């Protein structure tokens, strides 16, 4: 309370007439180190939500945060350039719409990522980073936590090859919370060729618990692209989960039990962007919508991945694949702009890998446009980017399609990393005849 007063957080004024006063509450939390020891005690003064009630969602707080993709991009740059990652803690956090701050004076660059009251600071100059820390300390009550090692449930290990980022403690806590610590592990996060249905079993008795677990699994995809598809499937039934849906959730937890030490290894490499995109045409048996899957690499480091159902039903596999290409292209363009803001340039245009020849022909050859007027907007978007040279299309065989066969790494006691490949069976939802006909048309 004294710190809030010292920072001049507010100015007391008389309540204006005919205005309602928004209440506030103190929220207390204990933050712990990865080994379970107490790191510090925290208190938050938050405005009362419209529907928050004790015992329901009283301890849920909301604030703008930096995108996970931006954090992973910083990890990749740190591994490539050898930048040191510093961690700062602000004792008094204030919400801004901005979460990424860049200081560039022509010779050096310093980057600051803000996640409520946790800060990651890095740059190409130790003097520049130290100068920013000193300036921040004069304005805010801050604590320098040194080298970044534990951040928002992420554990960062430093090796000669780069950075290894994982969420082992987070997984252990989740298994303990769900009483699955002693469960039997399994080798895949979902059953092959198995689709979740809306009316396949009785309703699950505790929807609140279901939503809580699935929400925790969503955050776990921060470093686990191998569960992105399975988590996306169970997320689609948050409103009215069934017992069969909770069985699918437990399957993911059993898979995590056998892969506790898995995560992402960020290594030294190029700064070229490349993306893999795919879609399963009409793969959802409930509404026949397709699912878009993509993964974007900066050099050899995966920094952005997603598995998400498309908003509309596609009338052909070409349309489904093309919508996936449009979604991936939009994210690649955003990453290009972010790298430009960081004053980082690439020697070549980003390459978009796709395994559908018809969709690629549609992006390059305007003659085919008349046959696909129902996807006109996506056609124009991707084609313009190809013509501008912003992105380059390249065919990739299905067996080399990273958008559905994510590559993750497993940590060993010696600090080495053994590459593993985990994925889900891909259903294209089209027969050979249609695929051949589309290829000939292209």
- pLDDT tens digits for range 253-276: 999 999 999 999 999 989 999 999
Given a cut of 80, is residue 178 above it in pLDDT? Answer: yes
- pLDDT tens digits for range 415-434: 443 333 333 343 444 443 44
Given a cut of 70, is residue 231 above it in pLDDT? Answer: yes
Given a cut of 50, is residue 436 above it in pLDDT? Answer: no
CB-based contact 155:35 (threshold 8 Å): no
Q: Mean pLDDT for the chain?
A: 84
Which of the residue ranges 42-51, 77-86, 424-433 would you say has the lowest mean pLDDT? 424-433
Share of the chain above pLDDT 90, in %: 52
pLDDT at 59: 62
Ordered DSSP codes for 307-362: EEE-SS--SSHHHHHHHHHHHHHHHHHHHHHHHHHTT---SS--EEEES-HHHHHH
pLDDT band with cut points at 50, 70 and 90 for residue 34: confident
Share of the chain above pLDDT 70, in %: 84
Choose which CATH entry (3.30.420.10, 3.50.50.60, 1.10.600.10, 3.40.50.2300) describes domain 269-441. Answer: 3.30.420.10
Given a cut of 70, is residue 368 above it in pLDDT? Answer: no
Helix 243-257 vs helix 168-177: crossing angle, to nearest 10: 140
Which of the residue ranges 90-99, 122-131, 299-308, 418-427 would you say has the lowest mean pLDDT? 418-427
pLDDT band with cut points at 50, 70 and 90 for residue 325: very high
| Longest CA–CA separation in the chain, Å | 75
Which of the residue ranges 69-73, 95-99, 376-380 would you say has the lowest mean pLDDT? 376-380
pLDDT at 381: 75
The closest alpha carbon to 230, from 252, 214, 211, 213, belongs to 252
Given a cut of 60, is residue 217 above it in pLDDT? Answer: yes
Mean pLDDT of 82-109: 85
- Can you give the residue ranges of every domain in the chain? 23-62, 68-165, 174-257, 269-441
């Amino acid at each position: 309370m004294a710190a809030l007063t010292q920072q001049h957080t507010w100015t007391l004024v008389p309540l204006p007439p005919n205005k309602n006063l928004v209440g506030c509450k103190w929220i207390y939390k204990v933050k712990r180190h990865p080994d379970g020891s107490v790191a510090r005690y925290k208190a938050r003064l938050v405005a009362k939500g419209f529907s928050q009630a004790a015992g329901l969602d009283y301890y849920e707080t909301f604030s703008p945060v930096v995108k996970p993709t931006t954090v992973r991009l910083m990890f990749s740059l740190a591994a490539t350039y050898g930048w040191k990652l510093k961690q700062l803690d602000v004792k008094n956090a204030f919400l801004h719409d901005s979460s990424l701050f860049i200081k560039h004076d022509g010779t050096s660059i310093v980057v600051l990522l803000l996640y409520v009251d946790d800060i990651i600071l890095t740059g190409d100059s130790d003097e520049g980073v130290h100068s920013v820390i000193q300036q921040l300390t004069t304005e805010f009550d801050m604590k320098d936590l040194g080298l970044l090692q534990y951040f928002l449930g992420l554990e960062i290990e430093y090796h000669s090859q780069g950075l290894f980022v994982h969420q082992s403690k987070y997984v252990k806590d989740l298994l303990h919370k769900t009483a699955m610590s002693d469960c039997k592990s399994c080798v895949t996060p979902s059953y092959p060729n198995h689709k979740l249905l809306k009316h396949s079993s009785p309703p699950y008795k505790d929807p609140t618990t279901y939503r809580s677990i699935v929400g925790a699994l969503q955050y776990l995809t921060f470093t686990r692209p191998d569960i992105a598809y399975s988590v996306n499937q169970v997320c689609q039934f948050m409103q009215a989960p069934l017992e069969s849906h909770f069985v699918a959730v437990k399957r993911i937890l059993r898979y995590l039990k056998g892969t506790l030490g898995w995560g992402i290894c960020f290594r030294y490499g190029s700064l070229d962007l490349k993306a893999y995109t795919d879609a399963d045409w009409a793969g959802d048996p409930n509404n026949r919508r397709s699912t878009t899957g993509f993964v974007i690499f900066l050099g050899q480091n995966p920094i952005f991945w997603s598995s998400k159902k498309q908003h509309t039903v596609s009338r052909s596999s070409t349309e489904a694949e093309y919508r996936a290409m449009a979604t991936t292209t939009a994210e690649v363009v955003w990453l290009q702009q972010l790298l430009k803001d960081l004053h980082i340039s690439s020697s070549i245009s980003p390459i978009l890998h796709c395994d559908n020849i018809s969709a690629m022909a549609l992006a390059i050859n305007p003659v085919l446009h008349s046959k696909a007027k129902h996807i006109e907007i996506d056609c124009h978007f991707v084609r313009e980017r190809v013509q501008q040279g912003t992105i380059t299309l390249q065919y990739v065989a299905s067996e080399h399609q990273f958008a559905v066969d994510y590559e993750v790494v497993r940590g060993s006691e010696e600090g080495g990393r053994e590459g593993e490949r985990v994925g889900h069976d891909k259903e294209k939802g089209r027969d050979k005849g249609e695929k051949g006909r589309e290829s000939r048309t292209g």
